[in-house]
Structure formats: C-alpha cells, structure tokens
C-alpha cells in the first residue's frame, strides 16, 4: 500500500491525487526485471515530499479543465516526479552517495549498472507519461528544454566542485537549473494543462521559480543546521564533496582567509574540521544571512500567489507554500 509523506495528511484533496500519481508511476515502471522494478517501488515508498506533482496539481486546480482531462492531468503531474527521481538516481552515482531519504541509495545497494539503467528507464517513462498527457508536441518540446536546463544546472554545479572562488551568482545559476527549473515547469504545466486563465499561466512560471530557489536554499541551510536523524540523510555531505552552497559561499565572499585553511583540505576534511567549519559559519552570521536571502524568495512567491485571482484552492497553494518554506525538517 503506497502512502504519501505525512505532511500531506493536512491536505487531503491533494493527497488523494498524489496517491493516484504514485500508483500510475508504479504501473508504468512494471518491468520484467524485478530488481529494477523493486528499486523504483522502494523509492516511491520512501515517501518523498512529492512537491513537483503537488505544485502541478495545485495550479491545475485553479483552472477550468473538465473531469475528462483528469487522467491526463495525473499523468503529467506524475511525469514531473519521475524526472525528479531519475535525476536523483543519476546524481547519486556521481556523488557516490550512500543514503537518500533515510534509505540506502540505488547505486550503493545495487551497483552503478542498475542505477544507470533505472535512471534511464525513468527518463523513458517520463516522456511516455507526457505522451499520454498531451496531444501537443509543444509540451514535449517544453519538457526537453526543461530537462536540458536541469542538466545544465547539475553540470554547472559539477564544474564548480572544490572551487573556493565560487560566487553567489554561480550558485544561483546552478540552483535555478538543477532545482528551480522543475518547480517552474511543474507550476506552468499544471496551469497550462489545467486550462487556467492566461494571467495565472503567465505568473505560474515565476512563482515556481521563486519557490524552487527558496526550497533549495532552505535545503542547503538545513544541511548545516540539522542532525542526520531529523533530515534522514548525511549532513555536511555537500561540503565534503566540494559542493559549496549558500551559507559557505556567503562566508567565502565575506571572509575567505578564515575558511581557506579548512577548505584547502579538500576531501580530507575530518569531523573536527567540519565542526570548526560550522562554528566559523555561525561566527560570520552566514546561516542567518542565508535565511534572510531565502526569505526574500519566499516572500516574492507568497506575494505573487496572494495576488492571483480569488479561488478556493488558492488558499491551499498559499498555505502549503508557507508551511513548506518555513519548515525545519
């Protein structure tokens, strides 16, 4: 029995639709190879937050799509999560991550061969769901462009690994691609396929982008402030792998000399080095300053949502976004 993340218990109408998406994903990834099939099912059952299909569905509900379009809406919403899962699996090959969502990663448990093919299989399912969801090749085109931008964000991040000269601009460019692009696509596609008014369709992109940027910034802040137990993944993993995110970039921009002796150790950072790094971040107020920057994106998103035409589901969109972007989990 598939379940959603408990956060959705407070939003039952969306929860029901998200369960339909999950069941469709499992149906679409039914294949002869049981190891790979089970790998996908395990990811689905690990109760990710399903934010991309949720935003797709929330925007689609602001529109005028008929009940006949229901199956197509679910297929397109599901496709956003499938692309997300594919990128997670392929990223874990690159990061050599051992844990994700509290479970061992695909490549750690089954080897990189299974991880490469499972990711590729999910990419084929992603386009398969899209072809079920729309008769418009333009939507396919939009998705190929989005997928390319997501990859460009990942590649950009990879290029800046262990780069102590990385700037806020570099960081913003990476996260706009690797994270915000898929939020932007989900909101826009939901509004478009849900047949929203042109005003909503037009604003959906920037709302999605701001939510995505804020979400990634908060995730990067949590990496420095949470314990592994509460976050269900290794903490301070990024910095060990040379991925320098917002708090650290603010530290480097403000007081590079203080951070360099630690960062120059590259992958040889010990636990006590990491503790020293966290102390330095606090001394330089990097966490607070990162939170303040994330806050500007949160407020821009909430203000734009608030200005959308009145609709019963608008309050859910506002409330969810506020909850999500003020979370400490």
Which positions touch a copy of itself (CB under 8 A)? 31-33, 36, 90, 93-94, 112-114, 116-117, 119-121, 123-125, 127-128, 130-132, 134-138, 140-141, 143-145, 147-148, 151-152, 154-156, 158-159
Tell how far CA 50 is from the center of its chain.
Answer: 9
CB of 54 within 8 A of CB of 4? no
Closest approach, Cβ 113 to a copy of itself, in A, equals: 4
Closest approach, Cβ 317 to a copy of itself, in A, equals: 29
State how far the Cα of 207 lies from the Cα of 190, in Å rounded to an integer: 12
State how far the Cα of 262 lies from the Cα of 216, in Å rounded to an integer: 24
96 — alpha (psi -120 to 50), left (phi > 0) or beta? left
| Paired residues of 99 in beta bridges | 104
Tell how far CA 203 is from the center of its chain.
Answer: 20
Q: Kindly tell me which of 174 and 321 has the beta carbon lying closer to a copy of itself.
A: 174
Cβ-proximal residues to 190 (8 Å cutoff; 6+ apart), any chain: 55, 56, 57, 58, 59, 60, 73, 76, 77, 204
Closest approach, Cβ 131 to a copy of itself, in A, equals: 4
Q: Provide the CB-side half-sphere exposure for 21 (13 A, CA).
A: 31
Closest approach, Cβ 270 to a copy of itself, in A, equals: 25
Q: Kindly tell me which of 139 and 276 has the beta carbon lying closer to a copy of itself.
A: 139
Q: Kindly tell me which of 7 and 150 has the beta carbon lying closer to a copy of itself.
A: 150
CB of 184 within 8 A of CB of 304? no
Q: Kindly tell me which of 19 and 65 has the beta carbon lying closer to a copy of itself.
A: 65
Q: Kindly tell me which of 135 and 271 has the beta carbon lying closer to a copy of itself.
A: 135
Closest approach, Cβ 293 to a copy of itself, in A, equals: 25
C-alpha distance from residue 319 to each of 167, 226, 315 (Å): 33, 24, 6
Give me 96's structure tokens: 């050599």
Closest approach, Cβ 307 to a copy of itself, in A, equals: 34
Q: Kindly tell me which of 70 and 148 has the beta carbon lying closer to a copy of itself.
A: 148
The single residue listed with the structure tokens 């999950």 is 22
Closest approach, Cβ 116 to a copy of itself, in A, equals: 5
Q: Kindly tell me which of 1 and 137 has the beta carbon lying closer to a copy of itself.
A: 137
How does DSSP assign 243-276, residue by residue? ---HHHHHHHHHHHHHHHHHHTTGGG--HHHHHH
């Amino acid at each position: 029995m598939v379940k959603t993340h408990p956060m959705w218990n407070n939003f039952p109408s969306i929860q029901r639709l998200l369960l339909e998406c999950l069941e469709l994903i499992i149906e679409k990834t039914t294949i002869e190879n049981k190891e790979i099939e089970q790998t996908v099912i395990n990811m689905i059952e690990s109760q990710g937050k399903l934010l991309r299909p949720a935003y797709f569905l929330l925007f689609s509900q602001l529109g005028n799509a008929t009940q006949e379009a229901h199956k197509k809406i679910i297929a397109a919403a599901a496709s956003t999560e499938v692309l997300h899962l594919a990128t997670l699996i392929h990223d874990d090959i690159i990061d050599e991550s051992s844990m994700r969502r509290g479970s061992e990663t695909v490549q750690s448990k089954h080897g990189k061969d299974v991880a490469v093919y499972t990711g590729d299989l999910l990419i084929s399912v992603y386009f398969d769901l899209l072809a079920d969801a729309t008769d418009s090749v333009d939507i396919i085109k939009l998705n190929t462009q989005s997928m390319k931008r997501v990859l460009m964000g990942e590649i950009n991040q990879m290029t800046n690994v262990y780069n102590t000269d990385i700037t806020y601009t570099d960081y913003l460019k990476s996260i706009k691609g690797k994270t915000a692009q898929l939020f932007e696509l989900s909101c826009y596609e939901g509004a478009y396929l849900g047949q929203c008014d042109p005003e909503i369709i037009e604003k959906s992109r920037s709302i999605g982008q701001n939510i995505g940027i804020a979400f990634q910034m908060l995730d990067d802040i949590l990496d420095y402030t949470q314990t592994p137990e509460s976050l269900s993944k290794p903490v301070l993993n990024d910095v060990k792998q040379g991925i320098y995110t917002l708090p650290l970039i603010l530290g480097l921009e403000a007081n590079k000399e203080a951070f360099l002796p630690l960062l120059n150790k590259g992958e040889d950072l010990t636990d006590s080095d990491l503790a020293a790094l966290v102390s330095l971040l606090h001394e330089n107020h990097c966490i607070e300053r990162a939170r303040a920057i994330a806050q500007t994106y949160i407020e821009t998103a909430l203000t734009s949502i608030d200005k959308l035409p009145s609709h019963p589901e608008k309050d859910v969109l506002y409330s969810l976004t506020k909850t999500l972007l003020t979370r400490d989990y």
